[in-house]
Amino acid sequence: MNLVRGYIGAQRSKGSWPIILDWGMVNEVDPKTGKVVRKRKRQMHTFRGTKRDATLKMNEMVTEINRGQYVEPSKMTVADLMNEYLETVKAGGRLKLRTIERYEGQIKNHIIPKLGAIPLQRLTALDLQKYYNGLTLSGSTKEGHTLLLTLL
């Protein structure tokens, strides 16, 4: 396994520094020919702040990647995940129709209207606590919501 290396590029504009993560050479399958091709894989992230802060952030990212702890930034929202989960459950065929209908009702009537717009990476325990505090449902129904929210 190659270790990821990082470096800071030239300043683009005042306070804007590119962080380049170099994953080294990787094997990829060319979709046109189906042959394996070796390519250099790099990712670039823009950091706003001082060069020193950019270097600290780059070192943090490289360490997390090399330890296997890095989570790639994503724009997926709670609603996206919940809808994807519903599709997977429906296609799986392992749950009863009534269970799927109950999940769908909980997701579409409660979870998505209150939490759906929040990006997954910005969802906090406080958001979930406020959600639970606002529910005026029975204890068993709240437990059903807890089951679905464990996906987050």
**Residue 114, exposed/middle/buried by CB under 10 A (0-12, 13-18, 19+)?**
middle
Q: What is the pLDDT of residues 89-138, one digit of tens each?
A: 888 888 899 999 999 999 999 999 999 999 988 899 999 999 988 988 88
**pLDDT given for residue 140 in this prediction:** 83
- Tell me: do 145 and 92 sit in the same domain: yes
Q: Is 41 inside a domain boundary?
A: yes
pTM beyond 0.85, yes or no: no
Residues 143, 93 share a domain: yes
Residue where a domain stops, chosen among 15, 48, 67: 67
Are both 42 and 102 inside the same structural domain? no
In a domain, 72, yes or no: no
Range of the domain at 116: 78-149
Q: Give a yes or no: residue 63 inside a domain.
A: yes
Structural domain tally of the chain?
2
- pLDDT tens digits, 103-115: 999 999 999 999 9
**Do 144 and 86 share a structural domain?**
yes
The secondary structure of 21-75 as a DSSP string is EEEEEEEEE-TTT--EEEEEEEEEEEEES-HHHHHHHHHHHHHHHHHT-------
From residue 147, alpha-carbon distances to 42, 80, 84 in Å are: 38, 17, 16
Q: Which of 27, 43, 67 is the last residue of a domain?
A: 67
pLDDT number for residue 63: 92
Domain-located, residue 73: no
